Amino acid sequence: MTTTETQSPPRERAVGQGIDRVDGPEKTTGKARFAAEFPYPDLAYAALVHATVARGRITGIDAKAAEAVTGVLSVITHLNAPVLKPAPARSMLDLSTMVSATSVNYLNTDEVHWDGQPVAVVVAESLEAARRGAALVEVTYQEFPAAVDFAAEEANAKPQKNSLLGAGSAKKGDAEAALAAAPVSVDLRFTTPPHNHNAIEPHATTAIWDGDRLTVHEGSQAIAWMRKHLALRFGIPERNVRMTSPYVGGGFGGKGLIWPGTILTALAARATGRPVRMMLTREGVYRTVGGRTPSIQRVALGAGQDGRLTALIHTSVTRSGKVGGGPEQVTGAAGHLYDAENILLQQNLVEMDLIPNTFMRAPGEAIGTFALEAAVDELAGELGVDPIELRMRNEPARNPLDGKRFAHRMLREAYALGAERFGWAERTPEPGSMRDGRWLVGMGVATAYHPSVQFTANVTARLSADGTVVVRCGFQEMGMGGATAQAQIAADELGVPYEAVRVEYGDTDLPTGPMAGGSAQTASIAASLLAACAKLKGEVLGLARRSGDSPLRGQRLAGVEARDGGLYRLDRPDSGESYEAILSRAGRPYVEAAIGAESGLGAVAGQVRFMAKFLSDQRRWVKAACGAQFCEVRVDQDTGEVRVSRWLGVFDVGRVINAKTAASQLRGGIVMGIGMALSEETLVDPRNGRVMNPGLGDYHVPVHADIPPIDIHYLDEPDPTMPLGLLGIGEVSITGVAGAIASAVHHATGKRVRDLPITLDKLL
């Protein structure tokens, strides 16, 4: 029997395409307004005064000279500041409590806990007057002894305990004994310095009070949590606070927690009765926003002559502040990457009188994979085995620590593709054996690894009779292309053109979104958006089924597909109806679906669901994005100058939603990793705890001339346990970068540099 089905051409799906980001026109014409760019009549400006001791008590403040500056409205100190409630204690039952960066009750205490802590805010009619006033405030202190020298504090580090959110240690067998018995081994010490995010937009806040209602424009990675925090601090209901964050000028973790600038802008606005804007100075960002912890790491590897690992030891010392911060998962990747018989992981933490550390792109993993991967390269050298081959010999089938399944693992494929595309076979193994004129050429590889998580997200989706769709979710957009990606997802799910979808975000008036962190935002929203779209289709189909005239009468959701702006039967593709036809017949201008509850029991249930899923996911499998990093460096034979001349990364990040923005984000992580490897270092004065290079002239982030063309490939294999099969891509690509560069530098020069950054003085 022959059928006469008309075969429609395969429909172009939006997901996977490299669609231009939706906010491109705003960002290339200067129309995009960031946090410090909301105009208000009667706007006043604020500037901070920073403590100049690491620990102490304020004994006196002389504000007379500052108050005499023309235009200065108020000098707010702990002597006259409005009362702020203390920051809430962190609790797993309310994730918003995690947003508190420090426990200090700013300007409500005479205690100083770090050099740079704000001790006064000057509010003035103009930016210049505020800054001038701030420079004139005289503060005296009684100084107390302070722990500010990380190297000296190493011995005081305490083992990190295991918690719900992360393991501080892990053990399989007896790794020390196996190491001692191993025929081939390396036992190495690595150090990494502190780093700062250096988003090009300094932290900025515009705060406006209307009675006991507060509006805050903020560059934020977590508007919902910050809103709740501000409500608590100022003693007003959460519904009275609105935070908007339509554009965020870079975050990288630095805008994930609420730092003093945000709170003090709101406090200054309350104290003066004026709308107040405060953009931190670049120096102010270093003084009042934490960065990445420094680390001291030990990686010891033992292997048989066959290269199979018998022992893997990775330990770390990092620091937090006495008033905040916490451990970072420095040894996290070491538990998942190599099939060693015996494993010992231990993270140690020392609390210091410095500004608390905070998450910065792949906290822990970025620096942990430097040490681990550089050590694997050293072991390969000891064994005389190719570093990729050594990794393949130790590639596990199941999670090495506990035998859990990997939800998804394609590291072998990533290395195979990368080696071929990069031309790894052309590498001659002997260090110093590849030259190009005065340049010593080296090639290095390393594994990238970052765990995948998901938060809850409340989403509404509205489908109108004209076929347009509005997706609403209060998420944050700092350049990941979130609105673009979610529009692509909604377009495919509802079978409408991508251009028909508008995504609203960056405002706490919208349904509560997830925070932008942990590489989790896209997947978290996608999960709820998929559910919302399914609900919408169900409702539309319900309207159609109720009509005697509809060709969809009697159909079930499983029997129809959304395409061409309507629903069509799968068994008879020419049989179906447009949304317009269905909705207008039903007399409905739109249908809307909501996922997640904003308050009450439903919201509590949402948090419980999050924790239940988080814990069951952790029990069931190991989920992560991973990849293979390949680089070529050139080292000047006379000066030791290191140039990265080629880069190729192959990433296993599940399904890619937008080919263009995903590649950009993966490149961005590599660029930041190149900075970490070669130039970035926050210098803390070991005598007084003061950051000595608080500016972009002295803290060297990569510039155009430092970055070669970066070739990005991804395997595009969906992860079966994630919504649409997507894994987060925000952080994985910074991991492994410094390890690959250190190995390439060794290949070029024969020198192992185990202390970042790899500056030329270490190669001479």
Residue (423 or 695) nearer to another protein, CB: 695
Residue 617 burial (10 A CB sphere; 0-12, 13-18, 19+): middle
Which of 329, 664, 682, 735 contacts another protein by CB under 8 A? 664
Indicate whether 709 belongs to the interface with another protein (CB under 8 A): yes
What is the C-alpha separation between 36 and 449, in angstroms, rounded? 36
Which of 74, 179, 201, 739 contacts another protein by CB under 8 A? 201
Contacts of 569 (CB under 8 A, 6+ apart): 551, 552, 555, 559, 560, 575, 576
Indicate whether 669 belongs to the interface with another protein (CB under 8 A): yes
Residue (167 or 478) nearer to another protein, CB: 478
Strand 44-50 versus strand 276-279 pairing type: parallel
CB of 197 to another protein, least distance (A): 8
Indicate whether 41 belongs to the interface with another protein (CB under 8 A): no
Contacts of 725 (CB under 8 A, 6+ apart): 654, 655, 717, 718, 719
DSSP assigned state of 225: H
Binding segment for another protein (CB under 8 A), chosen from 24-32, 99-107, 237-245, 714-722, is 24-32
Query: Residue 644's closest CA among 652, 633, 653?
Result: 633
Which of 128, 212, 306, 420 contacts another protein by CB under 8 A? 128
Cβ–Cβ < 8 Å for 313, 379: no
Which of 294, 400, 479, 596 contacts another protein by CB under 8 A? 479
CA 537 to chain centre: 33
Q: At what angle do helices 521-545 and 482-494 cross, to 10 degrees?
A: 30
DSSP-derived secondary structure for 569-589: ESSSTT-EEEHHHHHHHHT-S
Which of 117, 198, 206, 735 contacts another protein by CB under 8 A? 198
Q: Which residue has the tokens 């009450």?
A: 600
CB of 635 to another protein, least distance (A): 18
Residue (695 or 720) nearer to another protein, CB: 695
Indicate whether 68 belongs to the interface with another protein (CB under 8 A): no
Residue (629 or 749) nearer to another protein, CB: 629
Query: Residue 332's closest CA among 71, 626, 133?
Result: 626
Which of 16, 33, 174, 578 contacts another protein by CB under 8 A? 33
Indicate whether 506 belongs to the interface with another protein (CB under 8 A): no
Question: In the stretch 154-193, what mask flags binding to another protein with x, by CB under 8 A?
Answer: ----------------------------------------
Residue (155 or 200) nearer to another protein, CB: 200
CB of 315 to another protein, least distance (A): 31
Residue (151 or 703) nearer to another protein, CB: 703
Q: Which residue has the tokens 């014409």?
A: 29
> 512 pairs with which residues across the strands?
474
Instruction: List the strands of the sheet with 560-563, edge to edge.
Output: 560-563, 566-569, 576-578
Residue (667 or 754) nearer to another protein, CB: 667
CB of 674 to another protein, least distance (A): 9
Expressed in angstroms, the distance from the first to the final Cα of the chain is 80
Which of 50, 55, 113, 197 contacts another protein by CB under 8 A? 197
Alpha helix (H) residue ranges in 8-146: 24-29, 64-67, 127-136
Binding segment for another protein (CB under 8 A), chosen from 4-12, 125-133, 237-245, 633-641, is 125-133
Residue (349 or 362) nearer to another protein, CB: 362
Total residues interacting with another protein, rule: CB under 8 A: 61
What is the C-alpha separation between 386 and 373, in angstroms, rounded? 13
Query: Residue 730's closest CA among 562, 506, 482?
Result: 482
AA letter at 526: A
Residue (23 or 719) nearer to another protein, CB: 23
Which of 635, 670, 677, 724 contacts another protein by CB under 8 A? 670
Indicate whether 480 belongs to the interface with another protein (CB under 8 A): yes
Query: Residue 19's closest CA among 403, 488, 475, 544?
Result: 488
What is the C-alpha separation between 201 and 39, in angstroms, rounded? 18
Indicate whether 26 belongs to the interface with another protein (CB under 8 A): yes
Residue (131 or 754) nearer to another protein, CB: 131
In the chain, DSSP finds a helix count (H) and a strand count (E) of 17, 30
Indicate whether 710 belongs to the interface with another protein (CB under 8 A): yes
Annotation marks residue 395 as catalytic: no
Distances 473 to 31, 477, 608 between C-alpha atoms, Å? 22, 11, 20
CB of 205 to another protein, least distance (A): 14
Residue (667 or 746) nearer to another protein, CB: 667
Catalytic residue among 365, 373, 493, 731: 731
Neighbours of 65 (CB within 10 A): 15
Binding segment for another protein (CB under 8 A), chosen from 174-182, 199-207, 454-462, 531-539, is 199-207
CB of 760 to another protein, least distance (A): 18
Contacts of 428 (CB under 8 A, 6+ apart): 434
Cβ–Cβ < 8 Å for 598, 707: no
Indicate whether 649 belongs to the interface with another protein (CB under 8 A): no
Question: In the stretch 388-427, what mask flags binding to another protein with x, by CB under 8 A?
Answer: ----------------------------------------
CB of 361 to another protein, least distance (A): 10
What is the C-alpha separation between 377 and 431, in angstroms, rounded? 12
Indicate whether 645 belongs to the interface with another protein (CB under 8 A): no
What's the token pair of residue 551? 């060709």
DSSP assigned state of 634: E
Which of 1, 9, 10, 30 contacts another protein by CB under 8 A? 30
Q: What angle do CA 306, 311, 316 make, to 5 degrees?
A: 135
What is the C-alpha separation between 88 and 82, in angstroms, rounded? 18
Indicate whether 438 belongs to the interface with another protein (CB under 8 A): no
Q: Contact positions toward another protein, by CB under 8 A?
A: 20-21, 23-34, 36-37, 39, 126-128, 197-202, 247-252, 279, 281-282, 478-481, 660-661, 663-665, 667-672, 695-697, 701-705, 707, 709-710
Residues labelled as active-site residues: 731
